[in-house]
Structure 1
């Protein structure tokens, strides 16, 4: 008898709560709480969904949004907290849109997609022109176990330090301007790639010799046991945010287009691009490259793999892009004396 009474009491309590919830939801204004929060949630969802429609005509706003696109997801918990505080069911419902879109865009990066194995390990690193310890950076990179090592932002004064520090581990290397490639395997057909950096630091036109000094991209062939691999090393122009000009990307965009044309003309089926592209794979300015090459981090990484700035990485601008080879794993190496983190990947045939 007691058990029956207890069950009936529990059922009555549940029905009372349900009636109370229905009554509250039917009250005038219940779904109109927090209209501003609900509007912001919908706006966030539309921005994530249609980010490629944000125009670049004003301060390259579209590219700027795409550079930090993953971080827009932080708006979701912020708006959710506001919705709970305001007791706004409309905002909670509206947050479904940005949540679904963000997960569709970046949910695949949250898990570990790496696989064991791989025939070749590659590393790319912007060593930093102001690196206070190039010798230590060379030691760290030599200890990484990479088969192919691409360095950018090499200075004339530090070039010898890297050549000396990497000589024992990498018998083959080529340096053209400010970019270099070190390899355990034989290299051939090394040549500079003209990416449109045809003016000097003061805006003066450069001679052929001066162009080589300022060269920021090269192409070489690595002789592997399974056939030749075309390797591109590149350092695209800087992208900077300033109050007057907005997101300044003129040099980078021009370099990216020229590099994309070089990659499009590449006849080797197997291609790897290692470089500081000063842009993320979501940035429309790199579409000429990302439409032909796939990101090792997106394909086989664990997380977002942010690489800059080294002290607190917020974007992935150091890239390993491939064609004709299979990324097996991709990761970020520990910090060196540079303001960038080295990035690595294992590639399979």
Structure 2
């Protein structure tokens, strides 16, 4: 085949691939996903807290990329291929760093938080998991009145110091003092502050279980009570007199959720700084979001962050190691 014939063939193929009429719905879909990823913070919460709902599951938008790309290649639609690569680039910019292992070796102590679930039918198994975790500080949420004494007895030998307020508790190998309830505007106790004296110095440790959120067809993402509690907890942490502060708990929200900004704007995520992957913690059967958080401020350096194997709870326990 002559060179000019080959050139015409390639031009015809390119013209065919980049015919604007080919795969235009796929092109539009790729552009739309890109816009949502770039401007997710602009999606309003006024109707059904749609913005917070989107931000809770934002990383999962990345699954649209291989679907759009495969369909674009099948349709031989060049513009659709380009449009499918746009959200891929934005997604990598937003979340690519989470895919790299950022752990940096041993630290001074390990902390763990776990929503043990009121319906947990194997608390002894959970106790074994907690005592074998290697953690020195353990926060538990959703402690029922019936189950709390069993956890206290089962953890006593490994963690000689503990405090329980309402449905949240703290166990430690280090002394605990200065326990005060934090009012997160719920009407009952689901948060408190304690001072833990480590061998390297004191820590202010906040344990919290923010209100649950629901997705309902008639009202959308019902997160109003959670948002009020987040503001109250953020205010308490902002006025904490100790410099080094940890927050351990089930926040019923992710670091991407703008409604948790009163907390996340002043604290650092252990998973984001020292984890490997997204560290999704809920639901345990098929984790889709990290709503259980370990956050810090005041110069504490996370060196590792991880989730633990599933127990009888509907949440996975999450742990982090810190250098004081």
| Shorter-chain TM band | over 0.9
Other-structure match for 2:32:
43
CA distance in 2 between partners of 1:342 and 1:304 (Å): 14
CA distance in 1 between partners of 2:262 and 2:185 (Å): 15
Question: Contact 1:24–1:30 at 8 Å: present in 2 too?
Answer: no
CA distance in 2 between partners of 1:153 and 1:27 (Å): 60
Displacement of 1:32 in angstroms is 3.0
Other-structure match for 1:207:
none
Other-structure match for 1:328:
303
4+ residue runs of structure 1 moved beyond 3 angstroms?
12-19, 26-29
Other-structure match for 1:273:
247
2:50 is matched with which residue: 41, 50, 61? 61
Q: Give the number of the structure whose alpha-carbon radius of gyration is greater.
A: 1
Other-structure match for 1:94:
83
Other-structure match for 1:187:
176
Displacement of 1:288 in angstroms is 1.0
SS at match of 1:128: coil
Alignment of 1:1-349 (within 5 A): 17-26=6-15, 30-198=19-187, 214-324=188-298, 325-349=300-324
SS at match of 1:95: helix
Question: Contact 1:32–1:90 at 8 Å: present in 2 too?
Answer: no
Classify 1:175/1:53 alpha carbon distance in 2 versus 1 (closer, same or farther; 3 Å). Answer: same
Displacement of 1:326 in angstroms is 0.4
CA distance in 1 between partners of 2:108 and 2:3 (Å): 62
CA distance in 1 between partners of 2:150 and 2:205 (Å): 23
- Count residues in correspondence: 323
Q: TM-score, normalised by structure 1?
A: 0.90
Gapped runs of 5+ residues in structure 2? none
CA distance in 2 between partners of 1:15 and 1:275 (Å): 68
Gapped runs of 5+ residues in structure 1? 1-11, 199-213
RMSD: 1.5
